[in-house]
Structure 1
Amino acid sequence: MPEGLRIYAVGDIHGCAARLDVLHGLMAEDAAKAPERRKVIVYLGDYVDRGPDSRGVIERLLGPPPFAAETVHLAGNHEALMLAALDDPGDLRAGALWQMNGGGAALASWGVDPEAPQERWAEAIPPAHLAWLRGLARSVRFGGYVFAHAGVRPGVPLARQDPEDLIWIREPFLSSTADHGAVVVHGHTPGREVVLRRNRIGLDTGAVFGGKLTCAVLWAGRLRLLQA
């Protein structure tokens, strides 16, 4: 990382608002002791679905950060599934696909009966929440790290990555040993532990499946893990 910059990268939240509150507290404690002048929180996407409080997660992320920091909110594939169902209520296949991937829990957090007609789903979701979801970025780079929800396609320059790969890819990215031009910090593929490899850092530790919610703190040439 450039001198004076400290990054906090948060893995997949999936409606675990209470766990996010705990992690935010740990991040604030770390930031209070950190000498870097510039601090940035990068959220890696998948804020909604499966967990109990998708609405609460978005409300927290729309509010002020847990300490004085810039924030970057990246899109995940679950936000894409949600918007596909809400933006075209006549596409029943998109609605069913979202429901199969935990969309019912997300709808319930906004007080929507998942059995209600699909054209009624978006009515209960605040316009500010939908606008925020539509404005999510696909990737961001700081120093020698690039951040994306799912990863990158090996062999494709970072500036020419397919936006769909950035939120959906697993293989051949996960098994690749290639130098991607930067260390890729990502979520999307859950595991019991953080994945630390020469070319990537995987931060989805399955919070919604009973695992931990993870934040990687990156500064200079160092890394620290915070977990709730």
Structure 2
Amino acid sequence: MAVGVSCNEASTPEGMRLYAVGDIHGRHDLLAAMHARLMEEILHDRPADWRIIYLGDYVDRGSNSRGVLEYLANLRESDPRVIALAGNHDLGFLDFLSNPDPLGLFSCHGGFETALSYGVEIDLTSREAMEPGHAALVRAVPQRHRALLATLPYSVSFGDFFFCHAGIRPGVPLEDQTPDDLIWIRRAFHAHEGLHPKLIVHGHTPVRAPEICSNRVNLDTGAWHTGRLTALRMEGREKVLIEAAC
């Protein structure tokens, strides 16, 4: 019989506090407010060890993707306990910079706003029309932002928790999950009711309220349009939801 970990049973390593934060999508204001709140808790409570894990999708749709990437780059450089995972939109932005596609993820799902945050307006109606704007965007994106996007890990695990952007392929060992599933999967993952080897904490699929299931936790509350960014604090078996809202 397969053995898995339920949400109620999942525990952090002894002495470690974990935070996971849902999809940001250009909401630098909510990111800054959330991170300040989490650090205030950490400095007040002084856990023996801690990690803050951002679950991906930092760009597109919201108004300040540039600010989000700059903020995360600074955080990651200043403290390795801050971990930023890859989301499909983050890699879609990186792909667009090297291979602009008018029918790609960036062009069709919020990339226009991302370009505007770098001071560039792109006509995304055709490959020919986008060429001048694309060239301007390539010039405008700092190398440190591209380096950040290119080095985002797809997953991380601590204790009984496995963190990724979208989810996992049920029945496949965690160490064998494909990058494509980790940033894109939806239906097969959401429909699976059995326990996984660890509790999966993810985002990717917007929900009106944080989704707490026996085998997974979805923290994507659509921050870019709802004005609500959601995080989960985990310490031992205790799990507490946190919200930053405007």
Normalising TM by the smaller chain, what interval? over 0.9
Partners of 1:151 and 1:167 within 8 A in 2: yes
The answer to whether the aligner puts 1:179 opposite 2:195 as a matched pair is yes
Q: Which residue of 2 aligns with 1:227?
A: 243
Which one of 123, 126, 134 corresponds to residue 142 of structure 2?
126
Q: 2 CA distance for matches of 1:23 and 1:162?
A: 30
- In structure 2, the CA distance between the partners of 1:30 and 1:171, relative to structure 1 (3 Å rule), is same
* Worse-superposed segment, 119-128 or 144-153: 119-128
Which one of 59, 74, 78 corresponds to residue 70 of structure 2?
59
Q: 1 CA distance for matches of 2:117 and 2:61?
A: 10
1:1-228 matches, within 5 Å, as 1-64=12-75, 70-89=81-100, 91-94=101-104, 97-115=105-123, 116-117=130-131, 118-228=134-244
Q: CA deviation at 1:21?
A: 1.6
Q: 2 CA distance for matches of 1:186 and 1:156?
A: 17
Which contiguous aligned blocks of 4+ residues in structure 1 show a shift greater than 3 angstroms? 91-94
Larger CA Rg, structure 1 vs 2: 2
1:2 is matched by which residue type in structure 2?
A: P
Q: 2 CA distance for matches of 1:39 and 1:86?
A: 34
Q: CA deviation at 1:47?
A: 0.2
Q: Deviations over 1:100-132 (max 9, x none)?
A: 110000010011112252344211100110011
TM-score (norm 2): 0.86
- List gaps (5 residues or longer) in structure 1: none
1:134 is matched by which residue type in structure 2?
A: A
Partners of 2:21 and 2:55 within 8 A in 1: yes
1:76 is matched by which residue type in structure 2?
A: G
Q: Deviations over 1:10-66 (max 9, x none)?
A: 10000000111211222122212324211111000000000010000111111137x
- List gaps (5 residues or longer) in structure 2: 1-11, 124-129
Report how many aligned residue pairs link the two structures.
224
Q: Among the aligned pairs, what percent are the same residue? A: 42
* Worse-superposed segment, 210-219 or 140-149: 210-219
* Cα RMSD after superposing both structures: 1.6
- In structure 2, the CA distance between the partners of 1:68 and 1:136, relative to structure 1 (3 Å rule), is closer
Q: 2 CA distance for matches of 1:69 and 1:5?
A: 15
1:87 is matched by which residue type in structure 2?
A: S
